[in-house]
Amino acid sequence: MRLLHVRLPCRKIYPAGSVYLADYIYRATGAEQRIIDLALIDKDGRKKFLRREIERFGPDVVAFSWRDIQIFSPDHGDRSLENAFRFYYSPNPLVKARAALAGISSILDYHTRIKENMGYIRDTAKWYDGRIVVGGPAVSVFPEHVIGRLEEGILGVVGEGEHVMTKIVEGVENKDLLDERVVFKHKGRIYRGEKKRFVKAEELGPVNYEYVAEIFPQMKEYLGEYVGVQTKRGCLHRCMYCLYPYIEGKVVRCRRPEDVASEISQLHHAFGVKKIWLVDSQFIPGRTYVPRCIDTLDAVIKEKVDIEWGGYIRIENITVALAERMLRSGIMQFELSIASGSQRVIDFLTLDYKIKDIFRACEKIKKAGHEDQRILLNFSLNAPTETRESLLESVAAYKKIEDVFGEEHVNPVIFFLGIQPHTRLEKYAIEHNMLPKNYDPLSLSPRSIRKLIYNPPPLDKVIARACLRAWQEVDRDQVGKYVMEHLETRLNGGG
């Protein structure tokens, strides 16, 4: 049995999901596999490359992995949010007009990207007579929307793929997979399977990177960048806007510390990797996981690897002992999604932490020996129930943390909540008539895009204008600081 994993084009990010999946399938079934990554191929040559690889390898199954279908992602290098804000909030008609044109072009770009990825799957389905599977975050979030737009028989996989792909490799048909998280179309009707159990991460064992390098020759193009390693799956929290618990499950499943350390050691010693990104939805999901985090980092330290690492980290339960291990094992930045400085807003978003515990945790990190590691503070401004006072509390929280680590090490990063399917924020927006009940999450009209970014009146203008000024006046890495300072002045009645 031959299985070809095809990563559909997206930003150049190491395909950790496909690597873990392929390693598991190899150990479970011995299937012959190959991984190809279309993100590394020039757009013009992708279609030809894909066809050539399928013809050359002759797989029985082609498994596409689709990372993001992001309708509107205000992330690095994507100016969509900026254009939208210019269009809706700039007082200057000329700026508005320019932003409208740029906005149309980025919407077209999203259309093209979605169409392009659908095109690779559809095109393959036309001439290839083996089985086609599509998985990855895009399918997990929008299963019916993706499968509904594809040919009958193509199987969508929601969430982790280890169990279901093993069954597929063993020849189990779509209709017999309804005890897995799958979705497929048959005679025009969409079928969805349900699954009650998840992969036991403890039993995964370390990835064999020698094998991975053999089946994924393009891996070498990632060795100088962040390579993803997973220490656990799942998240027990219920943050109002987050999809991770839906995708990975609410039960946290930890991997064995020695397996994680073995992977980092192989990557560093055999392949020269120096940067590791922990792809866990959350590295410290709760107090009970602190000892496991310590054991994992102790095992990594024992491997004598000269690496720097990062990941998503909640710090409210951090101890000095854990912070010491984090610093000693090479953490280069603490990315803290604190969302708001107001306990009322934090509670409304059900983020499950106390702001006073965050301040205490910062003191512990400092005490453990923090020197020049960056502290990124992710704020989601204008969240539901935000007021002028709560915004000022966020500014105050940022300043308090700055006092602990020093101004030069702390950077606030401004976000707006995106409304995503399967979240309570989506439910809230529908209940409060911000979104129609039957809205299409893949609609790309400027009106619907504006609604999917949560930034309602009356505070929308003051925040958006602060962002517009910041984009105009300072470097990208200073935008957060500028916005916080500007908001403080404006909300206190100044400038």
- What residues line the site for ligand SF4 (CB under 6 A)? 235, 237, 239, 242, 244-245, 281-282, 314
What DSSP assignment string belongs to 142-191?
A: SHHHHHHTS-TTPEEE-S--HHHHHHHHTT--GGGGTTSSEEEEETTEEE
What's the CA dihedral at 410, 345, 293, 256 to 10 degrees? -130
> Which residues are 331's β-sheet partners?
309
CB nearer to ligand SF4: give 49 or 348.
Answer: 348
Q: DSSP code of 267?
A: I
Angle between helices 93-127 and 46-57 (to 10 degrees): 20
CB nearer to ligand SF4: give 232 or 486.
Answer: 232
Q: Cα 211–217–223 angle (5° rounding)? A: 90
Residues with Cβ within 8 Å of residue 389, at least 6 apart in sequence? 342
Q: Which of 430, 393, 423, 415 is nearest to 479 (CA)?
A: 415
CB of 235 to ligand SF4, least distance (A): 3
Q: Are 141 and 3 in contact (CB under 8 A)?
A: no
Q: Are 354 and 327 in contact (CB under 8 A)?
A: no
Which H or E run contains 132? Answer: strand 131-135
CB of 313 to ligand SF4, least distance (A): 10
CB nearer to ligand SF4: give 133 or 322.
Answer: 322
CB nearer to ligand SF4: give 89 or 244.
Answer: 244
CB of 384 to ligand SF4, least distance (A): 15
CB of 237 to ligand SF4, least distance (A): 4
CB nearer to ligand SF4: give 232 or 275.
Answer: 232
Q: Which of 448, 453, 449 is nearest to 467 (CA)?
A: 453
CB nearer to ligand SF4: give 6 or 235.
Answer: 235
CB nearer to ligand SF4: give 46 or 232.
Answer: 232
CB nearer to ligand SF4: give 120 or 379.
Answer: 379
Q: Are 377 and 361 in contact (CB under 8 A)?
A: no
- How far apart CA 138 and CA 136 sit, in angstroms, is 6
CB of 94 to ligand SF4, least distance (A): 39
CB of 248 to ligand SF4, least distance (A): 8
CB nearer to ligand SF4: give 252 or 267.
Answer: 252
CB of 415 to ligand SF4, least distance (A): 11
Angle between helices 460-473 and 479-491 (to 10 degrees): 140
Long-range contacts of 100-104 (CB under 8 A, 24+ apart): 103/446
Q: Name the token pair of 472.
A: 């105009």
CB of 453 to ligand SF4, least distance (A): 17
Q: Cα 221–222–224 angle (5° rounding)? A: 100
CB of 65 to ligand SF4, least distance (A): 21
CB nearer to ligand SF4: give 155 or 247.
Answer: 247
CB of 251 to ligand SF4, least distance (A): 12
